[in-house]
Structure 1
C-alpha cells in the first residue's frame, strides 16, 4: 500500500498506538478490512466474531473476541480497552434483520459505555431515502442511534458492490453473459470491496477531529454508471463480448409482495432493485477525496476486478 499522497507527503496517521475493534471480522468485507489494518504497524487489532477466531491461519496472530451483537453483555467485554470501532456487520444476508436493527443499537450503546474515541460505521448511500428497503432503512436507523449516543462517528456510505461473496457479474462473465437488472440505462454508483475496506481502515486510523461526525459517500471519480457502460468497459478491458440478459422492472414489481410471505431476504432484495430504478442510488463523493485521497476511475476499477478474477493478466 502506498502511504504517500500525490504531493509526496506522508499520509496522516496515528502517532500513538490504538486498539481497533473490527465487528463482522469473518465476513467477506470484514476479512478485507483486517488485511488493510494489518498494514498499519501503529495499531493493535481486535477482531470480533460470533464464533470466535476462524480456523485458517491468516489472522491467527490477531486478538480475537467472541461476541454477539444481540448479546449486550458480550459486547461490553468486546469493547474493553478499545479505542476505535469499525463495524461492517449485517444480518440481512442471513435471512434476519435483527442484527441490523437491535444489534446495531446494542453495538452503539456498548461503544458509548466504553467511551470509544471513534465509531466507524458502514452505511449505505441515500439510505435515508429508502425506507421501503429494510436493510437500507436499518442503516438510517443505526445512524440515528449512533448520533444520539454522542460518541464521535464516521459514516462511510457505500454504493452497490461491484464484487461480493457471490459475484453474479463474474459468474455471468464466465458464461459470456451480463445479467442486467431492470434496464441497461439507469445509472447507479458502484464500489470495489477492496477499496471500501481501505476507506473504512483509513477512517479508523485518520488523525484529526475533522473527520469526526462526518457522513462520507464513497465511489468512483467519474460518477455513477449504467449497466450498458459497465458492459462496454468489461468488454474493452477483457476483449470478450458479452450477451445481455435483462430481468425487466415489471418482474420485480410483480413479485415483490408475494415473495414477502416466504422470504425476508428476497423481499429486501427486490425492494432494493426497485429503489435503484429511481436513479437515486448515486454517491456524492465531494467528501471522499478530502479524507481518503483520489477516488478511482471506473475503468481502472474494472481492470483490477478482472485481474482479481483472472480474466486478464
Structure 2
C-alpha cells in the first residue's frame, strides 16, 4: 500500500511540529505534508530535509485550506489563539478547516481542541471557548474526527519563573494545593501517530492528554531538585492574576479557575497507552536541565 498523506497544520510550530516529526520518524505508511505560511523559513526547510512536503496555506483562507488537504488521508489541525487574540476568528478558522476537509474527502480529522468552558462551567475563558465552539460544531459536519485536548505545557513553566531579589525563581499561579495536569508538548506527536494507526478505536472520541498531575508546589520542588536554580510557588487570587497586565492575563486567571473544577479532565493512563514514552515532569526537567539552567 502506498504511503497515505497526513496534512499537518502549524507544522513549524510546537504542536504541529511535534506531530510532523513523529510521523516522519515512523515513516512507512505515512507521508507528511506540512502547512505553513512561509515554506522558505528555516523551520520549514528543516522539515523538508526530514522528508516532509511543505505547502503554503492560511487558516484564514478556506480555498487555500482545500488546496492544502486535497488528496490527504488525514489532517491534524491546530489553531493559535495567542497569535491572533480573536476568539471569533479562531473559531471560524477551525470550522472552515473542518468544512474544507469534508469537502475534499479527508478520512480522519484530528483537531487540537479545548473545552467550551462558558457553556459547561459558566466561566469565560476565550482561548478555550474559541476551540470549544469548533468541538461543538464537529459532529454536524459528517467528517470522521478525533479531538485531542492538551493540558498546561511543561515547556512554559521554567520560562515563567520570575527571578526574585534573593535569587530564587517565583512561579506564580492560582492553583492553591489543587493538582495541575501537564505535558511536554513534544509528547503529543507520538500520541497523534498512535491515534492515526488505530483509527477505528478513536473516531468520534475526545482524548485529554497528560503526562503528570501534581500540585504546583511539587512541580517547583522538582525544578529545584534537578536544576541549579531554586524555584518557589507563589499563590495569588484570580483577581490579582487578572491585573498583571500582560495580554490575556484575565483569560488565564479564569483558566486556572476552570482547572480547579470537576469539569476539567485529562487522562494520564490513556496518554501512556498512546505514547508509552510520555515524560513525567521530572523526566522532562532531567532531559532539559541545561536549557532550563540557561534561561
TM bucket, shorter chain: 0.7 to 0.9
Alpha-carbon contact 1:189-1:281 (below 8 Å) kept:
no
User: What is the rounded CA distance, in whole Å, between the counterparts of 1:287 and 1:105 in structure 2?
Assistant: 27
User: What is the rounded CA distance, in whole Å, between the counterparts of 1:156 and 1:307 in structure 2?
Assistant: 30
Alpha-carbon contact 1:154-1:214 (below 8 Å) kept:
yes
Matches within 5 A, 1:1-313: 16-42=2-28, 43-56=30-43, 57-61=45-49, 62-124=52-114, 129=120, 132-164=124-156, 167-169=159-161, 176-204=168-196, 206-220=197-211, 224-238=213-227, 240-252=229-241, 255=243, 265-278=248-261, 280-293=263-276, 296-306=279-289, 308-309=291-292
Q: CA deviation at 1:85?
A: 0.3
Q: CA deviation at 1:52?
A: 3.6
Q: CA deviation at 1:284?
A: 3.0
Structure 1 stretch displaced more, 50-59 or 193-202: 50-59
Q: CA deviation at 1:166?
A: 8.9
Count of residues in correspondence between the two structures: 286
User: What is the rounded CA distance, in whole Å, between the counterparts of 2:225 and 2:178 in structure 1?
Assistant: 21
Tell me the alpha carbon deviations over residues 121-154 of structure 1, each in whole angstroms, 9 at most, x when there is no partner.
1123685645511121122211122221122111
TM-score normalized by the length of structure 2: 0.83
Tell me the alpha carbon deviations over residues 227-256 of structure 1, each in whole angstroms, 9 at most, x when there is no partner.
111111222223643344444334136x49
Uncovered stretches (5+) of structure 2, i.e. residues with no partner: none
Q: CA deviation at 1:162?
A: 1.1
User: What is the rounded CA distance, in whole Å, between the counterparts of 1:188 and 1:272 in structure 2?
Assistant: 12
Q: For 1:155, what is the secondary structure of its paired residue?
A: strand
TM-score normalized by the length of structure 1: 0.79
Alpha-carbon contact 1:125-1:282 (below 8 Å) kept:
no
Tell me the alpha carbon deviations over residues 69-91 of structure 1, each in whole angstroms, 9 at most, x when there is no partner.
12111111111111110112223
User: What is the rounded CA distance, in whole Å, between the counterparts of 1:18 and 1:286 in structure 2?
Assistant: 29
Cα RMSD, aligned residues only: 3.0
Question: Which structure carries more helix by proportion?
Answer: 2
Tell me the alpha carbon deviations over residues 196-220 of structure 1, each in whole angstroms, 9 at most, x when there is no partner.
232223323x144112222111113
Q: CA deviation at 1:286?
A: 4.7
